[in-house]
Amino acid sequence: MTNLLRLQQLAKLLDITRLQDDETEQSFAHWLQSLADIQSAAYCVYPQFLAALQQWPQRKSGMALATVVNFPSGDLAADQVCEQIIQARSLGASEIDCVLPYKALLRGAHGAVKHFLYDVRQASANLCLKIIIESGELVTAQQVAKATELAIESGADFVKTSTGKVPVGVTEEAARIMLTVIAAAGRQVGFKASGGVRTIEQALSLVQLYENTTGNIATSQYMRIGASALANEVALKLLQQN
């Protein structure tokens, strides 16, 4: 693909993300006004800002509204997370990014993780469900693979690398392991790279890794990249190319 086609492809894969811990209504409104005019896959914000996003006149139609639950610690009980999902749905969310209880996985409590993921899938019903495995906190390749397998077995639509709230976000090694498991699944499962994706080159490298490993062309149906500042950089590059 030419650089222009790759940039156009990348733009459509972005989940434009805003998950600032000190966010206020004013700072969120300022962020909205700073967003590039770009058609991407989704917006991803905290639940309390979904209403402001829906009412924003410049919001791009066709872009999904995503939010996070069990975020970022992954420590909440399943019933609490299911309540968060129900609330998010009522606020207009069409996609749920849920943190897997990765500390339980590290303890080897795979059964508990499986039951949690089943409950979350049931509560999400027809919403797009992305399970965040927090790959940077998983110690071994086997744990990354196991977390990905459990997410897939539970019916997740996507497996996502990271919250962006721990020191290690997406790495090429973790992405490769996750994509290898996804490629071997008996159904189509999406992959979302997030946590420290800050440059176009890094994002395009992840897209290439997805395509090489799965044998599929990356589209927003099965490939996403969560990023905050990247959307504006992609939009600027596209303007320069045209």
Of 37, 157, 160, 237, which is the active-site residue? 160
Tokens representing residue 71 in the block? 């975020």
User: What is the chain's percent helix, strand, coil content, to nearest 5?
Assistant: 50, 15, 35
Of 21, 22, 97, 146, which is the active-site residue? 97
- Cα separation, 142 vs 37, in Å, equals 41
Q: Return the beta strands (E) in 5-45 as ranges.
A: 14-18, 42-45
- At residue 43, φ and ψ (nearest 5 deg) are -100, 140
DSSP assignment string, 164-209: S-SS----HHHHHHHHHHHHHSSS--EEEE-SS--SHHHHHHHHHH
Of 15, 130, 146, 192, which is the active-site residue? 192
Amino acid at 22: D
Tokens representing residue 15 in the block? 């989940």
Residue 192 falls in the annotated catalytic set: yes
Residue 146 falls in the annotated catalytic set: no
Tokens representing residue 19 in the block? 């998950």
- Cα separation, 138 vs 175, in Å, equals 13
Let me know: does 152 contact 182? Beta carbons within 8 Å.
Answer: yes
DSSP state of 49: G
Annotated catalytic sites, by residue? Answer: 97, 160, 192
